[in-house]
Amino acid sequence: MPAPTIATVAELAGVSTATVSRALQRPDKVQPQTRERVMAAVRATGFVPNSQARNLRSRASRTVILLVRDISNPFYLEIYKGVEEAAVEAGYKVLMGDARNDDERIQHYIDMVHARHADGLILMVGRFPEVLKAELGRLPPIVIALETFPDLSLPFVKIDNVAAAAEAVEHLVALGHRRIAHITGPMPETLAVDRLAGYRRALAAHGLAPDEALVVQGDFGLAAGRAAVRRLFETGTDFTAIFAASDQMAVGAVSELRARGLAVPDDISVVGFDDIVLADAFEPPLTTIHQPRFDIGRQAMARMIGLLAKEPGGEDVVFATRLVVRGSTGPVKSDFQLKRRRRP
């Protein structure tokens, strides 16, 4: 049975759709008897007023949702600024949602767009619910920013994670490091898989045999960096450097190394990924891969505006990254093995 519309309410109440709209938006401008007939019709039909009813002329909310993995991660601040700047220029507003790696929450925000509470969704989440993949033709306007879902034909704004990760490891190899550990993102998410592939590609380019004992899985969070270093020490494998798939994990790794009486970079070098604001404020300042997050946010919103305007789709946008060398990396030291086993 089709959902009741504003026309359904108007017919039952014996008034025009404009009167229904006015009764819902500005009830003080409608005669009490007419207003009561409209509200009775709303109750009888089960009609749910939404932004479609409140804006009959444009049938749009002029709102876009930016849905991220973890709203507490400072990585998303510059993304949001870029999205909002482009949105304001085009007469839109932006709501920010927290997916929390939860399929139901992702579905909730998609349902918000279906219900016309928002016009489109910019997704920055690590997963795309399987149930939605079977409904691609019925999805609302969606742009994927920085995440990668190879099996989805949706507009993407992204970076080359394989090349960026390889550049980070190349930097460590150039400093003389040969035993380089890697803290991955949550596997098997494509973003984490690609950064692991870049790590392995750089090792292979220099004839360095991969050692799976040096690869520890994380989740991009601070605590995962600490836990990964503890795991590396538990296995007893030697390493002189760490490449972490996020700055938060890199900061966590440095904290755990310090707790064990080790100095960064004198004993162990550490490279992160993202170049969040904390990277430059941390001590030592973090060597990391910079992503132009503000520009990425602007471009994601520009793609969304194009979708909403029914403009022909363009090619996916791939932004360049760059290595930012700071104080957390240095040349390998010959006496590292003795030092790295010290405890506080």
pLDDT tens string, the chain, 344 residues long: the values are: 566 788 888 889 999 888 887 787 667 677 888 888 888 888 788 776 654 444 434 456 889 999 999 998 889 999 999 999 999 988 999 999 999 888 889 988 988 888 888 999 999 998 888 777 777 778 889 999 998 887 788 889 999 999 999 999 999 999 999 999 999 999 999 999 999 999 999 999 999 999 999 999 999 999 999 999 999 999 988 999 999 999 999 999 999 999 999 999 999 999 999 999 889 989 999 999 999 999 999 999 999 999 998 887 667 889 999 999 999 999 998 544 444 444 44
Q: Clarify whether residues 77 and 100 are in a common domain.
A: yes
Q: Clarify whether residues 171 and 283 are in a common domain.
A: yes
Examine the fold and report which residue of 54, 73, 94 is the final residue of a domain before the chain moves on: 54
For 174-231, write each residue's pLDDT tens digit: 999 999 999 999 999 999 999 999 999 999 999 999 999 999 999 999 999 999 999 9
From the list 154, 198, 156, 183, the residue with the least C-alpha distance to 323 is 198
Q: Clarify whether residues 178 and 278 are in a common domain.
A: yes
Q: Clarify whether residues 95 and 13 are in a common domain.
A: no
Q: Clarify whether residues 187 and 335 are in a common domain.
A: yes
The pLDDT value given to residue 1: 54
**123: CATH:** 3.40.50.2300
In a domain, 210, yes or no: yes
Q: Clarify whether residues 92 and 129 are in a common domain.
A: yes
The pTM for the full model equals 0.78
Give the up-direction half-sphere exposure of residue 27: CA atoms within 13 A in the CB hemisphere: 8
Q: Clarify whether residues 35 and 120 are in a common domain.
A: no
In a domain, 48, yes or no: yes
In a domain, 344, yes or no: no
Q: Clarify whether residues 128 and 165 are in a common domain.
A: no
The pLDDT value given to residue 334: 58
Total number of domains constituting the chain: 3
How is the beta sheet containing 215-217 ordered, strand by strand? 215-217, 180-184, 241-244, 269-271
In a domain, 171, yes or no: yes
**26: CATH:** 1.10.260.40
Find the helix packing angle between 32-45 and 17-25, rounded to 10°. Answer: 100
Distance CA(43)–CA(40), nearest Å, equals: 5
Give residue for tokens 């049975």: 1
**In contact, 216 and 242? CB cutoff 8 Å:** no
In a domain, 247, yes or no: yes
Q: Clarify whether residues 119 and 230 are in a common domain.
A: no
Q: Clarify whether residues 168 and 128 are in a common domain.
A: no
Q: Clarify whether residues 170 and 312 are in a common domain.
A: no
Q: Clarify whether residues 126 and 246 are in a common domain.
A: no
In a domain, 1, yes or no: no
Task: Tell how far CA 183 is from the center of its chain.
Answer: 19
In a domain, 147, yes or no: yes
Greatest Cα pair distance, the chain, in angstroms, is: 89
In a domain, 16, yes or no: yes
| Residue range of the domain that includes 248 | 161-287+325-339
Give residue for tokens 């219900």: 115
